[in-house]
Structure 1
């Protein structure tokens, strides 16, 4: 060991990391622990050549996508869909190499997609997916350069109208449905669950009087109370899957027929918006809503804040017209 205790009570490190003829490093520390850690650091980094540029990664993007699938994507609930999207992005980009990925290539891809009428949200999803591929590969030691998507800015997306159903609309919708479609929609409206989360529920995920969403968008399970009446209604039958007969396309067609005024692109997500909107209009707490919806960031939930009865109410009391 090259750590010695001095008469002063301090500890000195005297080490030649590169051997007898290499450069000598001496440093004094107050504690032995600090000295030992410094010695280990010097020995571990002695052969690092940070000034030497790493070789260019010429692997095809397609190969990196498959590594991402192996190490991460295959474990995600929506991994298969993400995998297909990444393969499509690779094809549209012309099957680039890893060293080709960056701001210029993605700018060209973005311009090409915009010209073909693709929505900004779809382009931003592609950016997010590619960034995720490199992040996973860096974290697993399968990519040794900086994330090439760093610095690639998302397309600015205008704030879109968020539609929701009134209480009368909800009654019209429920009257038009039956069977598993009706029961699944009721659970969506009662808990704010996404259609996919509700559709995948099994009988073991429902106990008196709670439902637990396990396979979720962010892989975080959440448990939400439900009424005894709804619990009895959704647990009829003996199938392991709770709503085996529920059909997305059938419910969506019903929504489109009854409410053609709903904003384009919402589809069955309007059920989740409806729950959240009525929750806030009824005086619900925004932090509680975040937990119910399973949002990892409060900013996602804040889009519903304006539904609160007292949202910015001080504007009425404290404006200059009232203060004169």
Structure 2
């Protein structure tokens, strides 16, 4: 596909919309803009005809997922978790045929899960995983239908309270856990690691007081420095997995240290704790982004308000900043006195 300028100043469209073995279409235009419009219309027309001429995709969703798993899915980070997620969707939808997965089907699925008490954020997350499969399979010509998940507006999410441990609660936790549970808690508090990143850590991943997390949420390895004291606590042998721990048991230990911990925030609260205390002590938000491995700084901005300088100008530049006193007025009403007037309220 190309548009080339001819010697006479005109522009020639030269395309094969069905590929190099398909029909060749050529046409000349005086203006380049007209050539571009023609090229786009030709490509769109052939693509639309290809779509309309295809039969309905009568594969079951379970078969589609199995094909995705064999071709692509098993090589992805957190592969088994993704497979479990989309298999759950398939089960809840009663394994429909691919052509049946339209907007109404997806809305019915969401309503069913909401009625069963599933949070909107969980439903959005699961459907995002399904949409990713459609997109990936389309890229290798294994799916040619419309991705209705991508065009469906996500459910509005109620942001859950972000909880963290105070210094006293940190001391309570570290004083109540032993062995590998103590060591993994120290690692998470010192690096802001996710539970899965810490759980899979090997001794070989700690080199010269630098902890490397090779298996992260976004697939990019991350290195976080730690003190010698932390390295000595965490690295108890020279090779192999460092921790043999149970998440459910650790969650109970967390609840004991902080009884009012919000639902769904057990070990992840240690990551929040690291980030919160980092900002409270004057840490830089961009540095925190790199430590946590956030792809977008907007994710990290969740912790910005813990900085001691956050919106500090509100104190210096508010309209009362130059008012001498706040005192009751002679009439008995309270107000603000300053300058040539009185502001009462």
3-state secondary structure, aligned to 1:256: helix
> Does the 8 Å CA contact 1:67/1:137 hold for their aligned counterparts?
no
TM-score, L = length of structure 2: 0.80
Deviation at 1:162, TM superposition (A): 0.9
Q: Report Cα offsets for 1:133-177 as digits up to 9, x if no partner.
A: 111111222112332212212211112211101111111111111
Q: Structure 1 pair 24/137, CA: closer, same or farther in 2 (3 Å)?
A: closer
Deviation at 1:77, TM superposition (A): 3.1
**In structure 1, how many angstroms separate the alpha carbons of the residues matched to 2:16 and 2:295?**
46
| Aligned residue in 2 for 1:282 | 281
Q: Which moved more, 1:285-294 or 1:132-141?
A: 132-141
Deviation at 1:186, TM superposition (A): 0.2
Q: Structure 1 pair 209/51, CA: closer, same or farther in 2 (3 Å)?
A: same
Q: Structure 1 pair 73/15, CA: closer, same or farther in 2 (3 Å)?
A: closer
3-state secondary structure, aligned to 1:322: coil
The one of 24, 27, 33 equivalent to 1:25 is 27
Q: Structure 1 pair 51/249, CA: closer, same or farther in 2 (3 Å)?
A: closer
**In structure 2, how many angstroms separate the alpha carbons of the residues matched to 1:259 and 1:76?**
35
3-state secondary structure, aligned to 1:223: strand
Deviation at 1:54, TM superposition (A): 4.0
**In structure 2, how many angstroms separate the alpha carbons of the residues matched to 1:291 and 1:191?**
11
> Does the 8 Å CA contact 2:294/2:300 hold for their aligned counterparts?
yes
| Aligned residue in 1 for 2:57 | 57
- Over the aligned positions, Cα root-mean-square deviation in angstroms equals 3.0
Dislocated runs of 4+, deviation >3 Å? 3-6, 10-18, 26-30, 44-52
**In structure 1, how many angstroms separate the alpha carbons of the residues matched to 2:14 and 2:230?**
72
| Aligned residue in 1 for 2:295 | 296
| Aligned residue in 1 for 2:20 | none
Higher relative contact order (CA 8 A, sep 6+): 1
**In structure 2, how many angstroms separate the alpha carbons of the residues matched to 1:316 and 1:106?**
49
Q: Structure 1 pair 145/320, CA: closer, same or farther in 2 (3 Å)?
A: same
Q: Structure 1 pair 13/225, CA: closer, same or farther in 2 (3 Å)?
A: same
Q: Structure 1 pair 225/17, CA: closer, same or farther in 2 (3 Å)?
A: closer
Q: Report Cα offsets for 1:46-92 as digits up to 9, x if no partner.
A: 99464452423222211221222223321123211221221121111
Q: Are 2:180 and 1:180 aligned?
A: yes
**In structure 2, how many angstroms separate the alpha carbons of the residues matched to 1:258 and 1:218?**
30
| Aligned residue in 1 for 2:248 | 249
TM-score, L = length of structure 1: 0.85
